[in-house]
Structure 1
Amino acid sequence: MAISSVTKAKIFCRLSSTQFISTVPHKISQFRNKICLANLLQRYGLSPSQLHTFLAKKHFLLDHYNVHDIQNSLNILLSFKIPQTSFISLLFDCPAVLDFNFLKKWQIGISKFGDSGISPVAICSVLALSKRFQIDPDLFLNRVSLLKDLGFNGGVLTRVFERFPRIIMMNEDEICEKIGFLEGTGISRYGIERVFHYFPEVLGFDVENRLKPLLGEFLELGFSEDEIRDEITMDPRVLGMELGEMSRCLGLLKTLKCRVPIKDKIFSEGEFRAGFEVKLRIDCLCKQGLIHREAFKILWKEPRLILYEIEEIEKKIEFLVHRMKYGVGSLVEVPEYLGANFEKQIIPRYNVVEYLRSKGALEFDVGLKSLIKPSRLRFYNLYVKPYPECEKMFGRFAEGTGLKRRHPVGMWKLFKPQKHTETKEDVNNMKSFMEPLV
């Protein structure tokens, strides 16, 4: 029987309305679940900004878990007494850990073991690894017992699981191989515990292909076995150096051009320690976004950095990038910035220039070089003396220093900076220890 056009239209309208009714409630349901999840996570400590980022990237949670199960999972995580910071990091780094069945299994497994002496932060690291690699809690508890039998005390055990949870996936022979290597260097039992406590990542290094060649390099550089042993015990991170890294660091030290007191202070604790301090500063600069070649060049031009604390260098770079709005690459051209005093030089000069810029007193851009390189007197005469209100933020010179007004108030005079030229000898010295980085 033929279907008229009117009948077709009626059928189409019924199908369309049915489809609309079936899809809209689903969308409404998803939206409600998202709101419920957001409210739930906010009650468990996520800030509004964190919630926005989390839900934008982890929208798959509602596709795999319902809100009720997620709430039960969060309660189990809280039962492990995980600190708030670690708790938030775990949710962002491994949201799949909210699997209720997975957490319930771990809750039962840990409760059977009793007080294992493992810190909540360590449990947090173990849970993230276990979810990624589908590790059973029985294997974790087996490794805890094994490490205790090998002499790992509670503090070392906790530190290892916090920083190197992959030890769960290692067998007894692999762990004993690392212990045997350290014993072979003459390190005492207490020293071995110190190594694992301060640098647990060494447990993941291959003995034959990484650790033994590294010690061989130290010996070839002229360091004695006793000196190497003492340095490892003092700072186990020495074992984290790459092959050839100590040679490049010592090469830089031999070509430094700086005042004798600075060089004496750099080598005050021995050549080995000086080379390792160079490595730590290079790592710090590279962590901020520089390449190795740039980091070596900065350190060679500003040797005082070897004497500065890592935290101080990081603070200056953070201020440079986030407050002063310069790229980290500007340090290659003006390494003196990292050698300047943060409280007495960098901040006062920056405040003066920002104040003058806000008042419209600057008709030119004051670059990082013009901000840092001038002497205190020169900067004062250029930017402070014509505007007395800036003296308070800059810091007044002591009276009687004989400062003379060089130009009337409001008149500006720029000094052309002297161009620094590197000699052929300087270039050759830099090439000698930077060639392996090319």
Structure 2
Amino acid sequence: MLLRSIFSRIHKSQFLNNFSCLANVNSLALDSVTAISPSKLKPLSVEEKAQEKVNVISYLIYTCGLSPNKAISTSKKVHFDIPEKPDAVLNFLAENGFSKSQIAELVGKRPSLLLSDPEKTLLPKIEFFLQSTGIGKADLFRTIAKCPTFLTRSLENQLIPIYNYLNDIIGAEKVATLLRRGSWIFGQTFANRVIPNVDFLRALGVPNSFIAFVLYHYPEAIGQKHDQFIEIVAEVKEMGFDPLKSTFVLAIHARSGEGNKALWARCYETYRKWGWSKDDIYMAFKKHPNCMLLSEKKISGVLSFLVTKMGFESRMMAQYPQLIFYSLEKRIIPRCSVVHLLSLKGLVRKDKSLSTILCLTDKYFLDKFVTKYSEEVPQLFDIYKGKAVVPEV
């Protein structure tokens, strides 16, 4: 009913005319933060406020490109009685190369930007990112549309200091990549989360290269609340991880956030189903922390083939958790099939270690196990390429 009522009123009026006819609007200056008419001599009546809301919704739909439902929800976050400021912002964005869809996305997420001063507030930030980071316009505008908070932060007090801090740790090229990803690491929690967490790692002796790695690849881990971060680091240390090794920061990432913790628990149960003990699982985790961030389908797919079809012992895999990351179709099945066929023909030992089979480079494996025996077993290359039937155990 609300939607129908509002649009009935929209179609009964000319919304641009409504903007210009409200009480002496041409002589009023809008408050730059709230954009509510500052006139205290004649407050808006209930009818005028209702009409203003209709006008704003109409403007968001017909000028900004928002959907009706989105315009209604967005209208609760922005108020203006004349369109001069929003018009100036939209013209600025369009003239600088933002697409209509990007403008609609940006306004829908941060409608308060419609009340900005384009030349004083928006332009300096855009110029800073373009000039300092080397990011292209297309990438920057795509990022801003997805994460318009970049334009709501203070240039001098937030954006420049954050950029300089990140640049010192990971370098300009990777900072630009973080921008392209729209990383929230440039947000308002940087000073009370990222910096204290980085300082904490440094105090533990974690090498700068590992800090740079986690900051670039897993910024959400380094950007969590400081007290939670301290707890996770303590947990990881208690598990026996060494701050001087890269697995330390990988373990922190694996134990950070509700999503990763839930995935860790599911991985734990999956490995248990395949006969791994608690010690097996923790050994694998210490060797390759990301083995606890895999899907059940990935883990079971690899173990099912290696254990059921190839006859390897399941718990042995805990010693080589990195093998679970290899592609089943592109690497594990073709290589194991080749070696298995060679062993059936007595050309190689049956007890070839799985790490030897799977960890060799493609060229070395091809030379050692395929090309070398191509005359004795002509179908080897087809098996290696997945074009022949996999031999049974």
TM-score category of the 2 structures, normalised to the smaller one: 0.3 to 0.5
Q: TM-score, normalised by structure 1?
A: 0.42
Q: TM-score, normalised by structure 2?
A: 0.46
